Amino acid sequence: ANPQNGPEPLNPVTDFKINDLDVVDRASDKEVAAVQMQSHKCLACPKLDEHFADMKQRDDLQQRIEQTAHSLSDRNLSLIQVFDAKLELLRRLQYINDYNMLELKGHVCCTINSAYELMVTELIFEDAFNDLSPAECVALLSCLTAQDKSATEPPKLPENLGNIKEKLVQLAGWLGAIQHECGIDTNPEHYTETALKFGLMLVAYEWANGKPFHEICQMTTVLEGS
């Protein structure tokens, strides 16, 4: 070992027995570069440290220029606009305050991860579940969690489920309209179609009321477990 430069560097091929071709090539390139550096005339420059510091500063500035250019790109500007629009939506719905701190509705919304968070949160704060039976609650929630596109809407819902469906459509339309007003690229019709699926509403209702499973299977084309 050289007392000035420290111990000799270990070779990944000869010392660690690494035979990966990519590693071998990189180790060989490193050794060639090290030899070339030893004979480079810049090592004899009395201002080497000063020049090295200048180059380091130049590289740092170049990285900052590239990062700034990236942050000002059209794509990132559009993302900032979307972000600001969503913040405005959360303020309108009183999920956050003027300082972007979470309010009670925002905390509740953060705990919901299996359905459309805005829909469920608004339903909770409108006391939509208070006057419903357990089976009706199950039917309502199925509209927010059903994902299978083959779930065709039943030809006729009983009056109680029809009323629930109507309220859900009204709420989804209202949320879609507010999002559109805040600058989010959606509309009431699209949001309603995306957020609500009524194909399993009656099925879930009958299941929650204890209807036999084999009869449930005859009510829908959706596979069990979906």
Q: In the beta sheet, which residues pair with residue 6?
A: 2
> Which DSSP symbol is given to 141?
H
H helical segments located in 1-132: 21-38, 48-71, 74-92, 104-110, 117-125
Binned at pLDDT 50, 70 and 90, residue 3 comes out as very low
What pLDDT is attached to residue 178? 96
What pLDDT is attached to residue 21? 82
What pLDDT is attached to residue 19? 79
Q: What mean pLDDT is predicted for residues 172-179?
A: 96
**Would you say 219 and 173 are in contact if contact means Cβ atoms under 8 Å apart?**
no
**Would you say 119 and 128 are in contact if contact means Cβ atoms under 8 Å apart?**
no
CA neighbor of 23 nearest in space, from 14, 31, 13: 13
Q: What would the pLDDT profile of 64-123 be if each residue is shown by its tens digit?
A: 998 887 777 766 777 888 899 999 999 999 999 999 999 999 999 999 988 889 999 999
Neighbours of 192 (CB within 10 A): 20
CA neighbor of 198 nearest in space, from 175, 224, 166: 166
